[in-house]
Structure 1
C-alpha cells in the first residue's frame, strides 16, 4: 500500500514537471535595424493543447537585456502557468528606451518591439493575434517603454502596465544615455518632451487602453509617477494606480509583477 502511494505521488510530480512552463530563446530578425535580436518566450504548461493564448510583453530596464527577467525572477514561469498567457521578454539593447532614435538610424526599438517582434510571435506561436490578446508592461526604462509603445500603438496593445517607470525623461538630461538617442535636451527640448510618457497622455483614445501603474514610495521615480497619476486623473483617463513601500530594486519588481499579472489576466478574461 505504501509503495503504491509513493508511486502515485511520483507519477503526479513527474507529470507536473512535464507540464510546467517552457522557456524558449527566440532568435528574431529586425529588418529595420538589419540584425538578429534574441527574446525569451515563456509558454504556459497547457501550451500543447489546441487553443491560442494571450501574450504579455515584459520589458527590462536600463542596463538589462532579454534574459534578465527570467534570471532575476524565475517565478514568472509560474505566472505564465497560473494565468495561462505567453510571456515575451524582448531585448531593449541596454538603453534604447524603446523608441526609434531620431539621432541614430541603427536604434529602432519602437519598430522592433511593437511591429517586428509582435509579427514574429504571432507567426511562430499560438497567440490570440489582436489587441484583446496582447498586453505590455515593464520595469523602470521598460515601464516607460511599455506606456510609450502602448500609447503610440493603441491598435496593437489592449492593456499596459508600468512598474517603477521612468515616465518623464526631462529631469535626467545626462542620464542613461538618453541624449545619445534623442540628442541633448538643451538642443532638442521639444524632442525630449515628445518622447516623455507624461507629456503623451493626450494621445490616449477613450477606452483604448487598460492601464495599471505602480511605484514604490521610496523609489527615486515615485514623484513623477504621482504626477502621471494626477495627470491621468485630471484628464479623466481610467487607470489603476498603486503605491506601496519599496525602492528601485528586484525585490520590489518580483512582487509587483504578481499584481501586474492579475490586472492583465483580468483584462484578457473580461467579457466584451
Structure 2
C-alpha cells in the first residue's frame, strides 16, 4: 500500500477503536445515560456527514447545498436506518457493563461471523480452511464468555453480539451503495427518530453532564462520522481481502487503548480469546483470498 493509504487506514482503525473508548469513558462514570449517548452520537454524526456531503458536492460540481442535501436524503433506506440504530443502541447499552477491549472483540467477532454466515446462506461454498477458522473463532468467543476475570455479563455480551450482527447486516446492505457518504448521512439522519422514540418511556432516567455530552458528540462527529468517511475513501484503494483483514487490528487497538486510558487490565483470558478469534477470522480471509485467485 502507498504511504498515504497506509496512514489513512491506520487513522480509520484508530477511529473505530475510539468509538469503544469514548463510549466507555462516557458510561463508566455515568457522565451520560446510554440512550442519550446514542441519540447524540447519531444526530451529531448526521450533521457532520450532511455537511461533508454538501461540501463535496459543491467542490465537485458546484451543486447547490439544498439540492445536495435532498439528494443525500434520498440515498439511504429505512431498513439501513433500523440496522444502524439497533447497532448503536445495543452498543451503548452493552458498554454500561463491559470493558472496552472485551466489547470490541465480541462486536468485531459478531460482525465478521454474521457476514460469513450470510455468505454461506447465499450459497458461498466454504473451504475446509475457512470452516476450521470459523470454528476457532467461535471457540475464542466461547472462551471469553467462560467464568474468569475477563468474562462479561451474559446480558451485556448478548447485546454486543446483537450490535455486531446489526452492523454486519448494515455493512452487507451498504456494500453496493453508489454514494456511500450520502447513503451513510441519510441513514444516520433516519436513525435519529427511532433513537428518540426509545428515549420517551425512559425520560425520568435520562442524565448527562458536560463531559458526557462532549464524549457523545466526539463519537458522532469524529470517530463515527469522519472515521467512516476516511474508511470509505481508503476502501477504494484496498482489495476486499485487505479491507477485511486490516480490521483485525481494531479489537487489539481497543484493548491497548483501554489499558492505557481507562485502566483496564489486559488479562490472559482476553489475550488468548483475541488470538483465537482474530486468528480464526484471518484463516477465513486467507481462504477466501485463495478462492478469488483461482
- Taking CA–CA contacts closer than 8 Å with sequence separation of 6 or more, which of the two structures ends up with the larger relative contact order? 2
Work out whether the TM-score is over 0.5: no
